[in-house]
Each structure stands twice: as C-alpha cells, then as structure tokens.
Amino acid sequence: MDYIYHYRSPLGPITLASDGQALVGLWFDGQKNWGSTLATAYGEADLPMFRDALRWLESYFAGQDPGFTPALALRGTPFRRSVWQNLLAIPFGETRTYGELARSLGMPGAAQAVGSAVGHNPISLIVPCHRVVGADGGLTGYAGGLEKKAWLLRMEAAALIKPIGSI
C-alpha cells in the first residue's frame, strides 16, 4: 500500500506519494502521468518521510538549493531508472540537453528514448526533469506544463545571482 500527502506550492497543488519508507511520486495535480507509480491501494498519511520531502520543497520554493535529497524509491524500468539517476546529477540552476544525457549514459544516439524516460519521471522537482532542454537550449516538453518549467528555471537562475553588495 502507498500513502499520499497534499502540498500547496507556489505553482499549485502537488501530491506526494510514499511506500512508507521513501518517496515514490511527486506530481503537480493534473500533470501528465499523474499517479503513474502509485499503487492501486493508497491512503492519506502523515509520514516522517513526507516531512523530509516538505523540508526539501520549502527550501526549494524559497529559492535555495535544498542541499539534500529525501529518500527515493524510483519505480520504473532499468533504463528509465538510469535516466532518472542521471537527472539527479544535474546541479541546481543548470540545464542539460537530452543529447548530453544520452551521451552520459554511453548511448549517444538515444536522445529520443532519454526524452521519453524524462517525460515519465514520477518524482518531479526532486528528480529535476525540468532542467532538461532541447538541443538549441529551448524549452521542450514538461509533464507539468511548459509554463511551470519556465518558472522553475527562472527561479533557479535568479537564486544563483548574487546581489552586487554581496560579492
């Protein structure tokens, strides 16, 4: 059985899902593939692991790199899990292209397959699929919507700019 918890973000409601030990899902309400890794039977609960995820979200939406990753249980095929693991390596405020991700996996011709795996990421934000852009640097697909992707990338970029007086 899985458990869910609801969170209100600056971009709208988010549903978090856990197996009781780790996060298995984090979706903007209404996004594509919502609940894709959620067990058939689930209920609401306030679990310690949700408190860790909420700490991460509060820090992130305050414009800070949270500096930690809550416990995750990535549910998917081995290929998808390898792509999602690579997403976790993209630093706060940086982007990568689908081609760069494919090359980092040793599969330089697999940008389209990587794109499909990125699009099925079940743990939005924490597994930062919003940091993946097209070859020309343009915004391409995001299950939560391109407006959210643009907002997230702008917020991260702004957080990295230091005020003149602090240099």
Q: What is the CATH number of domain 2-61?
A: 3.30.160
What are the angstrom distances between the C-alpha of 145 and each of 1, 40, 49, 149, 151? Answer: 29, 25, 27, 7, 10
Q: What CATH fold (topology level) applies to the domain 78-159? A: Arc Repressor Mutant, subunit A (1.10.10)
Q: Which amino acid is at 151?
A: W
pTM for this model (two decimals) = 0.90
Whether 129 sits among the annotated catalytic residues: the reply is: yes
Report the pLDDT value the prediction gives residue 144, as an integer from 0 to 100. 87
What are the angstrom distances between the C-alpha of 7 and each of 29, 46, 99, 141, 153? Answer: 10, 12, 33, 24, 20
Q: Where are the domains of the chain?
A: 2-61, 78-159
User: Is 41 within 8 Å of 2 (Cβ atoms)?
Assistant: yes
The tokens for 123 are 């743990």
- pLDDT digit string (tens) for 13-55? 999 999 999 999 999 998 888 888 888 889 999 999 999 999 9
- Active-site position among 14, 72, 90, 129: 129
Closest residue by Cα to residue 64 from 56, 72, 53: 56
Closest residue by Cα to residue 19 from 56, 66, 63, 74: 74
- pLDDT digit string (tens) for 47-73? 999 999 999 999 999 999 999 999 999
- pLDDT digit string (tens) for 79-107? 999 999 999 999 999 999 999 999 999 99
CA dihedral 33, 154, 150, 123 (to 10 degrees): -10
Closest residue by Cα to residue 4 from 30, 40, 38, 29: 38
The residue to which tokens 């918890």 are assigned: 5
